[in-house]
Amino acid sequence: MLKARRRVRAAVVLFSCVVVLLGLGLSITWAHRTTGSVRLQRFTQSLPVSRPAASGLSASDAMGREPIVPLSARLALEPSLDPRKVALGNRLFHETQLSGNNQISCASCHKQDSGGADERPLSLGFEGQLSVLNAPTVWNSSLNFRQFWDGRVATLEEQVDEPILNPREMNTSWEAIVSELNQNDDYVRTFRQLYPTGIQPASIRDAIATYERTLVTPNARFDHYLRGDKTAITDEEKAGYQRFKDYGCVACHHGANVGGNMFQRLGVMEDFFLARGKVQTADLGRMNISGRPRDRYVFKVPSLRNVALTAPYLHDGSVETLEEVISIMGQYQLGREIPPDDVTLLVKFLQTLTGELTGTSL
Ligand code: HEC
Ligand code: HEC
């Protein structure tokens, strides 16, 4: 009797193992197929469970094996971030003296009331010139594995030089900035208190990047759900999350930032640019950095946190609504036509990713 029961139990265990392994094998094969150009190894390495440190999260933040990891509120209050440097960085982020005509600050294109981005397809820069790409949000950008659509810089510190020196954006020089800020006693005093070298490009970069590291948006309703509050999102939103996994959006959008940790081609399954037309240099994506034809149209997969607040979408800002961009993802990234009802559910799920900035709901 006992023996028979043990045998049954052994069979059940064996059977579950086979099912799990089969499921894992299938999903990896499937992910490999849908992600086209990505090498399998890179894909599996980039899964959130295998690299929690890279996203600045401790292993204890990872709940179960969900492909999305809740954002830790601790990140925003990181004790290693000196609050005086944060305050200085905040001031510099809003400082128009960082531009050639003293009219543009970082916040002109990365606005608090536009989800940390702006509401335009392309941003308005120095003397009305347009940027060549859509401004991504600065919120949670500290969690992205690299900065910019084509990932050409690795850190927030390095990133600062680009808008400042870019003739289309702020169009100035470090000499001009250092000399202007040195005319302000308050800046001179504050910098001297915080940095032995005083007002220097490196201290300006450091203060701005330190401020940006506080711009994380924890406590989205979806984070509460992941942490175990099953009532934090509605049944429709849960169904939307299920679609997000079933369609395979999670192959590219996963981890703490629901994206921001790999490069992918826009148009894995079908040529997006053939339909859109008029390919510009900026559309070439990573190919502009590497010179390799296989990097043509390859971009950093954007984070989907607060995505409901950051229209228009895509690197070219060509898409107005979430509904539209989800259909595009289905067609060009997954080779699937997503029916309208599922699009609606996916939108509802994405809306649960809107979080809090410095304790205030967005
Ligand atoms: C004229 C508009 C404009 C101004 C001013 C501007 N930005 Fe940006 N920002 C952009 C655009 C456009 C991009 C995307 C460019 C790209 O990917 O090549 C961007 C990208 C970024 C990114 C990368 C985010 C990511 O996820 O890849 C960060 C961080 C950032 N900006 C911070 C700043 C800071 C700090 C300043 C001020 C020193 C600043 N920006 C000034 C338009 C602007
Ligand atoms: C093969 C990888 C891949 C898959 C699968 C994928 N995406 Fe994306 N997604 C991307 C890339 C890359 C971009 C940016 C493309 C660009 O702008 O050029 C993007 C952009 C987006 C954006 C716009 C974000 C912004 O700020 O502009 C949304 C929303 C989005 N994806 C949702 C989804 C949904 C929903 C699914 C599933 C139906 C999905 N994605 C499947 C790679 C992918």
Q: What is the pLDDT along the chain (362 residues), one digit of tens a residue?
A: 445 555 555 454 445 544 444 444 444 434 443 343 343 334 433 433 333 333 333 333 344 589 999 998 777 667 778 999 999 999 999 999 999 999 999 999 999 999 999 999 999 999 999 999 999 999 999 999 999 999 999 999 999 999 999 999 999 999 999 999 999 999 999 999 999 999 999 999 999 999 999 999 999 999 999 999 999 999 999 999 999 999 999 999 999 999 999 999 999 999 999 989 999 999 999 999 999 999 999 999 999 999 999 999 999 999 999 999 999 999 999 999 999 999 999 999 999 999 999 878 88
Distance CA 75, CA 166 (A): 30
Question: Could you tell me if 98 and 172 are in contact, meaning their C-beta atoms sit under 8 angstroms apart?
Answer: yes
Phi and psi of 208, rounded to 5°? -65, -45
Calculate how far, in angstroms, residue 136's C-alpha sits from the geometric centre of ligand 1.
7
State the pLDDT at residue 359.
77
Cα separation of 313 and 307, whole Å? Answer: 9
46 lines ligand 2 (CB under 6 A): no
- Nearest ligand, CA of residue 142? 1
From the CA of 216, how far away is ligand 2's center (Å)?
21
Give the span between the Cα atoms of 352 and 235, in whole angstroms: 12
Q: Is the CB of 299 under 6 A from ligand 2?
A: yes
Copy the structure tokens of residue 45: 């390495």
What are 98's two structure tokens?
Answer: 């960082």
Ligand 1 centroid, distance to 106 Cα (angstroms): 7
Rg of the chain, C-alpha, whole Å: 23
Count CB atoms within 10 A of the CB of residue 342.
20
Mutation test of ligand 2: which of 30, 305, 329, 341 has the most ligand atoms closer than 8 Å to its C-beta? 329
CA-nearest residue, atom 10 of ligand 1 = 135
Distances from the Cα of 258 to the Cα of 147, 150, 222, 244, angstroms:
15, 18, 11, 11
The greatest distance separating any two alpha carbons of the chain, rounded to the nearest whole angstrom, comes to 90
Show Cβ contacts of residue 157 under 8 Å, excluding neighbours closer than 6 positions: 205, 206, 209
Ligand 1 atom at minimum distance from 170 CA: 5
Q: How far is the CA of 138 from the centre of ligand 2 (A)?
A: 18
Which residue from 241, 249, 280 has its CB within 8 A of the most atoms of ligand 2, so it is best to mutate? 249
